[in-house]
Chains A and B, each alone.
Chain A
Amino acid sequence: MTTLRIAAVQASYVLMDRDAAIGQVAALTAAAAARGAQLIVFPEVFVPGTPIWIDTQPIWTGDEDWFALLAENAVVIPSPASERLAAIAAEHQVWLVVGVQEREPHGSTIYNTVLYFSPLGELAGRHRKLVPTGSERTVWGIGDGSTLQVIDTGLARIGGLICWENYMPLARFHLYAQGVQVWLAPTLASGDGWIATMRHIARENRMFVIGVNPVLHEDQVPAGFPGRDRLIPAGYTEDNGPWLEEGNSVVVAPSGTVLAGPVRQREETLIADLGLQDVAVARRHLDPVGHYNRPDIFRLQVNTSPQPAVIESGTIASTSKLNGDSDEYQTSHEHPHS
């Protein structure tokens, strides 16, 4: 019976400092690997941390310096930063899953992205969040259907969605249909309601679920952070408490039973051993894309094509092309995604 040891790393970061956050990834991955973890999962946008200002100030009010910091510290693929993350996975020979704020090499739009690095140091998967939530829409763009893949690690089929994407039933179904066995849900969501969702999703697809959050106390934001007094106004912490990120990491079994966590208001790496045979056995009860589906009633269509802003072509389209003479397409190519 295959057992997979996983680590859900609930940790803090140095806000908007990419290199320091990657340093945290390196240290915490080493520690988790030393405990035998084969799959190590970090929180949503751990590198370089949450754009806290979108909720602490009115939208687009005095946020120029903060956004400049974000753009500067976002992760470009490929770049020395992404290669450093890949090297961490290779050094410890683990699957490393990290949430980053990502942008195109020459792009100004930031994406909320999860990167999957293999033990060989390859970038095996990249998922850009499909729909940001509320105020997040003012800092992040949206991904497309080309990044909704389940990855076969050889030990288990892994995949997942970011934060409230986990409330998108159709996106979940698409991943379920790819045979996901271990579901990764990097998130910022706090509270018991989120734990209910993690347990529900585990039971809905009879799989393991790993929810992983950052944790950040207001005292951990450096004193010299630009506009710090406005970033964390006194009234904000009075209403919301001193934890900018409270943490909520949890590991759930295919039955919906909590295996580890939820852990809050402290840094902690949750370790769990996942018996993958439990997934197949549990699905004799319920398999939402198999015997518990009704494909005669429900038909889900998914567009998995990349949707680049521009499709370049060697010639200008003519009427002959519209009529189906496609030779002119021979010189066409799409912009690569990065």
Chain B
Amino acid sequence: MPRVTVAAVQAAPEFLDRAATIDKVIALAEEAASRGARLVAFPEAFVPGYPDWVWRTRPWDDTASTLYARLLEQALVAASPACDALAEAARRLGIWLSVGATERDPAGSTLYNALLHFAPDGRLAGRHRKLMPSGGERLVWGAGDGSGLTTIDTGFGRLGGLICWENYMPLARSALYAQGIDIYLAPTWDNSDVWIPTLRHIAREGRTYVIGVTACLRATDLPEDLPGRAALYGGAEDWLSRGNSAIISPAGDIIAGPLAGEEGIVCAEIDAEVARASRQQLDVVGHYSRSDMLRLTVDATARAAVTFRRDDAEPPARPSAGSAAPSREAAPVPGQPASRHAGKR
């Protein structure tokens, strides 16, 4: 298995501007690829920006509602021109591209905190929706199902991840360990001192590389016309997130980063064979498990609130008006049956 370079991109989004943020993702992915990265990871909800206001507004005041409406409008729809642009960038650069996004179904009004994995062949190879938002996040994001708890074989290791405080869900982590995860992504907004120890613990527990990736922005990075900006945000000293991106070895050692207080690309060389060999010492889903007495069952089915049964099979839906690239439009989103799309249109 080849040793490869992986990159965690710590950056500021173009806040609540999907198109401009995607342009920035592509430009930074190009830069990371030019430095040899075969996997480039972006922070939690990077497109179109983490809804930081949930921690600053009263839950239902007018500013919060207005900002929510803008987030809904600027959210990413899987299988849409915006999503295709990311997929095309992955294909053109020949990289695995993992991007955190606020995402919704084509006809849906509920937003999800999703981690999307684009393959070097331009496929959307994986999508995980955060299972449990934290605190104020619960007012803007729904909860995903178990269908996104997957790992993907990249050819240089099995890739997967959990989002922010999902990383404190021992059973969700176990589901990924059981699928042989070698490269564990942990996009987050958590800036606390304890976050890095958590990344190190997960690396040791799963004997996996861990890539923590965090946004970096301050109030002056927000657009002037952001509703409620003057009331909610200050100046250059008002950090929304300082960042703490880091890459950890399967032994729990920090091998790159943590980077804080500035944008940058954190790179490290990884070797999945090292992770796998280190499981001689500890394999929590193998020789260090007790399946005779501790047994976990995971419901990994995709669950729609409404399932349609029809007499006539419909052609696959066109997920988004004006989408070009018909061949990819018809492709199902990973973990989501094509029929679910069909039913919704």
In the complex, the answer to whether B205 meets A297 with C-beta atoms within 8 Å is: no
Q: Which residues of A contact B200 (CB under 8 A)?
A: 193, 196-197, 200
Segment among A53-61, A76-84, A104-112, A300-308 that sits at the interface with chain B? A300-308
Q: Collect the chain A residues with CB atoms within 8 Å of residue B194's CB.
A: 199-200, 203, 255-257
Q: How far is the CA of A107 from the CA of B338 in the complex (A)?
A: 60
CB of B112 to closest CB in A, whole Å? 14
Cβ of B268 < 8 Å from any Cβ of A? no
Q: How far is the CA of A168 from the CA of B298 in the complex (A)?
A: 17
The answer to whether A298 and B251 have CB atoms under 8 Å apart is no
Q: Which residues of A contact B149 (CB under 8 A)?
A: 297
B198 located at the interface, meaning its Cβ lies under 8 Å from any Cβ of chain A in the complex = yes
* Cβ B297 vs Cβ A293 within 8 A: no
Contacts of B281 in A (CB 8 A): 133-134
Kindly report which residue of chain B lies nearest to residue A195, judged by CB atoms: B197
Binary CB contact string for chain B from 249 to 291 against chain A (1 if under 8 A, 0 otherwise): 0011100000000000000000000000000011010011110
Given contacts A133-B282, A167-B284, A168-B289, contact A297 B294 (CB under 8 A): no
B135 lies within 8 A of chain A by Cβ: yes
- Asked if residues B134 and A286 are in contact (CB atoms below 8 Å), the reply is yes
Number of A interface residues at 8 Å Cβ cutoff, please give it. 46
CB under 8 Å from chain A, chain B span 292-310? 292-300
Give A300 to B281 CA distance when docked, in angstroms: 25
Please give me the 8 A-B residue pairs with the lowest Cβ-Cβ distance, nearest first: A256-B194, A200-B201, A169-B170, A196-B197, A145-B293, A196-B200, A193-B252, A298-B171
Contacting residues, chain B, for A164 (C-beta < 8 A): 282, 288
Q: List 5 A-B contacts (CB under 8 A).
A: A133-B281, A145-B293, A200-B194, A256-B197, A298-B175
B interface with A by C-beta (< 8 Å):
131-132, 134-135, 143, 145-146, 149, 165, 168-175, 177, 192-194, 196-198, 200-202, 204-205, 251-253, 281-282, 284, 287-290, 292-300
| Cα-based distance from A307 to B169 in the complex (angstroms) | 29
Whether A25 is near chain B, meaning CB under 8 Å from some CB there, is no
A170 and B170 in contact (CB under 8 A), knowing A193-B252, A296-B299? Answer: yes
A131 to B252, CA, bound (A): 21
A interface, CB within 8 angstroms of B: 130-131, 133-134, 142, 144-145, 164, 167-174, 176, 193, 195-197, 199-201, 203-204, 255-257, 285-286, 288, 291-294, 296-304, 307
Given contacts A145-B294, A193-B251, A298-B298, contact A167 B282 (CB under 8 A): yes
A199 to B252, CA, bound (A): 13
A170 to B293, CA, bound (A): 10
User: Max chain B CB contacts within 10 Å: which of A168, A286, A291?
Assistant: A168
